[in-house]
Each structure stands twice: as C-alpha cells, then as structure tokens.
Amino acid sequence: MSDTTLPPGDRGLPLLGETLSFLKNQFNFVDERQARFGKVFRSHILFKDTALLVGAEGAEVFNDESRVQRSGAMAPHIADFFGGTSLPLLDGATHRRRKQQVMGAFGRDALTQYLPVMEATVERTLGRWFAAGEASLTEDLKDLALEVIARTMAGSDGGPEFVANVRDFKLMVRAFTALPVPIPGTKYARAKAAQARIFDRYRAVLAERVAKPTNDGLSRMLAKPAEDGTLIAGEDALKELHHFNLAGYITFAHMARGLVALAQDTELRARLRAEIDAHLGTKAITVEALHAMPLLENITKEMKRCTPFVAVSFGKAKSDFILDGKTVPAGWMVMLCNFASGNDPAIYAEPARFDPDRFAEGRAEHQKHPTGFFPQGVGEPLKGHMCAGVDYSTVLMKTFLVRLVRDYDTTLPKQDLSYRWEKIPPEYASGLRAVLTKR
C-alpha cells in the first residue's frame, strides 16, 4: 500500500515507536496529534502500527464488526489484565453468546434489587464526608464504586475480603501505564500478583454461588442461558466478574466531576434540587423516579460526555477500511478516542463547558449524528459491544447526585482542580477536597 493513502502521523522511534509518549499521557497524546493531523491519524504504539480515530464517523467504523474486531486488539499484557477473554476481547457469535449470559446480571429486576444497596452505600459515604468537616473525596469515591460493585455483583458484605480486594485492585490498575516488565519489584510484577490474589478470592465466591445461588449479579449471570441454551461457567464467569470491577471503577471519576460541577454552579444545583423535591421528596429512590427527572438525566449525560475516563478503546482492523479519505490496512491496531470525541466541536458547542442543557429537547446536540454520543459505546448491549453496565452506571450516578443534592450543600475549599492526566482515569490534583453541610 502506498504511504500517501495511509493516515498522516509519525511512527516515532525505531521499535518503541511513540509508546512512551502514549503511556505518559494518553489524553494529551491524542489532543496534540489531532491538532496536527486531524481526526484520523497514525502512530506506532506498543509495537504495532496504529490508527487513531476521533469523532462520530470513527465510532461508526469502530463498531462495524466487518471492519474492526476486538480479539487480538489489546497489547497482550493489557488484555491479560482484562481477563484475557472477557467481553471486550471477543467477537461474533462467541461474543454474543457471552453477552446474553452476562446481561443476566443487568436486567431491570436486578437493577431494582441493587438500587437500595447503592443508595445505602452512597448514604454512608456522604455521611462520613459530612462528619469529617472537610473531606478528601477521590479515594472514597473509588471505594464507593468498588463497594457497590462488590456488594451487588459478588454479594460481598464489605468485610476484610473486600478490603483486601480493593487494595489489590488499586495495585493492579497502577500498572496500566507501566511497561510490562515481569521482574520482581516492578509495578507490573506487583500488579500481576495482585490480580492472581483477586482471582483466588473470586474462585471461592464462585464455588459458593454454584453450590447455593443468591440474587447477586454473579448468581444471575450463572443462571442466564444464552439463546442457544448455553450457560457461563468457571473461569469465564470469573473473568467477567473481574472486568465489572475494571469497568465500573471509573464511575468514581464521573461522580467527582458531577460533584464539582454542582458545587461550582449553585444555580444548576438549585434547579436539580427543585426537580428532585418535586419528583421524589424524601421518599426512597426508585428506578422509575430516577428516570422521570429530565435535568438529572441531562446532568448525568454531561458527566459521561465530559469526564475524562479513558482516552481510547482498543480494536484491530479486520479488513482494510477507508475513513476521511485515508486507508487503514487490515491488521493495524485501531484506537477509538473516546474522550476527544466527546469534545468534538463539530457536535458539541463550547465542549469545555459543563452544560447539561445541551442535551435538552430543542438543542439535543448529541443527536446531530447517529453516533455523536458514545461515552459507553454504540447501539444496544445485546447486539454489540455497547457497555453492559450502561443502565447500572446511570442508576449509580443518579443515586449519588440525588442524595448529594437533596441532603447536602457542597463547597469546595481553595485547591488545585486541574487534572493529573497521567492517571487513568485522570484525578483532580488536590485529591478533591470538599465540605458538606446539611441542606
């Protein structure tokens, strides 16, 4: 293939390519190159020729299974952290079968049952912050997300096993931006050992659920046959359970972004509070009530659009494809740039502004293109790679916002609210300090 048809961009150093600058700050890597080369550009990352795609058209291609596949897409050490063969790494009939089984954990009845657990966990966290006077929130928000997943999906009681799992999980995610050097003492080696301990603990939980099912997510998943009648079992179930943690952990970043936005914009907070008072008052939260509040919905959408969580999703070109007049050859790694796409000025006016009304009827900026809004993927969960936890995460984020805004005023002491972009997801440099006072 002639180089003139390939996407523009640099290949970087011999062998290493642009791997180091990519790992150092993936968000900046994308922004800087998008500014130089446009919405489709090439690089050489983790030893592979790579095409990076930004925007709605890129999302359309990325989700077309005839052009982009998921197996073989991630660097092997990252794939390993995702369980090796969990949903984001599968294709075709194998993927669909697994997805039908896994979605057993995410039905409406399951969400209805998880919601009081989510609300109680949120309530305890907010109560602790209130009692502390001034609290540092980032680590607590991570623990909140992980605790909700552990309680609802693995029937955890939040005891010592959970605490050990959280410690190991945090060791593991630290290695996502490290080079995979399996020498004792490296971040990578510590992460692998932590992952092995997590799997050992989950093996014990799985044995218990197989012997005596409950109504946690794991039991629901084990009980849900795919269309062909097959059931998920053994290590496959463990890999999916493990991936729920990785996938759901990032909600901490969204909740942090929402809290900051509502503390900074007191008018927006007052509007949301009025909506909550009108729809819910002091009653216990229900899934129906959460879905009946349009401003709450738009704030949640805006949190999903403008929270940096991951810079890219991983795919691999299954066949040559053309995008923006450039050919991406079969076999190349393909990265869909999630965060940069949510900030595309072709879809979103003043993308840097936190402006939930951009989703309101009349404006509906996200509807400018069928794939103009894809913070959790494209299409329906059962038909492709759309996030299995799309409703689950929405319910968690909304529950958090409702209890925060209904019960407390939040103020942010003077602090550095710039992001530490080298982390995934990026975190506020200050650790996010806040003071909650009773409403």
Using CB under 6 A, list all residues that contact ligand HEM: 63, 87-88, 99, 149, 243-244, 247-248, 250-251, 254, 304, 309, 313, 338, 375-377, 385, 387-389, 392-393
Q: Least distance to ligand HEM from the beta carbon of 372, Å? A: 15
Asked whether the bond before 425 is cis by omega within 30 degrees of 0, the reply is: yes
CB-wise, 21 or 69, nearer to ligand HEM? 69
CB-wise, 17 or 143, nearer to ligand HEM? 143
CB-wise, 6 or 100, nearer to ligand HEM? 100
d(Cα 260, Cα 299) in Å, to the nearest integer? 12
Q: Least distance to ligand HEM from the beta carbon of 328, Å? A: 17
CB-wise, 293 or 396, nearer to ligand HEM? 396
Q: What distance separates the 2 farthest-apart alpha carbons in the chain?
A: 66
Closest residue to bound ligand HEM by CB: 389
CB-wise, 9 or 377, nearer to ligand HEM? 377
Q: Are 216 and 154 in contact (CB under 8 A)?
A: yes
CB-wise, 17 or 248, nearer to ligand HEM? 248
CB-wise, 22 or 373, nearer to ligand HEM? 373
Q: Least distance to ligand HEM from the beta carbon of 5, Å? A: 26
Q: Which strands sit side by side in the sheet containing 48-53, from one edge to the other?
A: 40-45, 48-53, 333-337, 312-317, 68-69
Q: Least distance to ligand HEM from the beta carbon of 234, Å? A: 18
Task: Tell me the CA distances in angstroms from 144 to 10, 169, 238, one per residue in order.
Answer: 41, 13, 21
- The owner of tokens 């900026």 is 365
Q: Are 311 and 5 in contact (CB under 8 A)?
A: no
Q: Least distance to ligand HEM from the beta carbon of 373, Å? A: 12
Q: Least distance to ligand HEM from the beta carbon of 4, Å? A: 31
From the centroid of its chain, how far is CA 391?
12
Joined tokens for residue 214: 């409950």
Reference 126, options 409, 398, 393; nearest CA is: 409
CB-wise, 73 or 434, nearer to ligand HEM? 73
Joined tokens for residue 160: 């010592």
Q: Least distance to ligand HEM from the beta carbon of 287, Å? A: 15
Q: Least distance to ligand HEM from the beta carbon of 246, Å? A: 8
CB-wise, 138 or 415, nearer to ligand HEM? 138
d(Cα 126, Cα 116) in Å, to the nearest integer? 15
CB-wise, 288 or 380, nearer to ligand HEM? 380
Reference 84, options 98, 97, 71; nearest CA is: 71
CB-wise, 71 or 415, nearer to ligand HEM? 71
d(Cα 179, Cα 439) in Å, to the nearest integer? 47
d(Cα 335, Cα 306) in Å, to the nearest integer? 19
Q: Least distance to ligand HEM from the beta carbon of 177, Å? A: 18
Q: Least distance to ligand HEM from the beta carbon of 180, Å? A: 22
Q: Least distance to ligand HEM from the beta carbon of 57, Å? A: 15
DSSP run (H or E) holding 62? helix 56-62
Give me the numbers of helices (H) and strands (E) for the chain, helices first please.
17, 12
DSSP run (H or E) holding 142? helix 138-154
Reference 316, options 327, 304, 306, 328; nearest CA is: 328
48-53 and 333-337 strand pairing: parallel
Reference 305, options 367, 375, 250; nearest CA is: 375
Task: Tell me the CA distances in angstroms from 323 to 5, 7, 30, 33, one per residue in order.
Answer: 10, 9, 17, 17
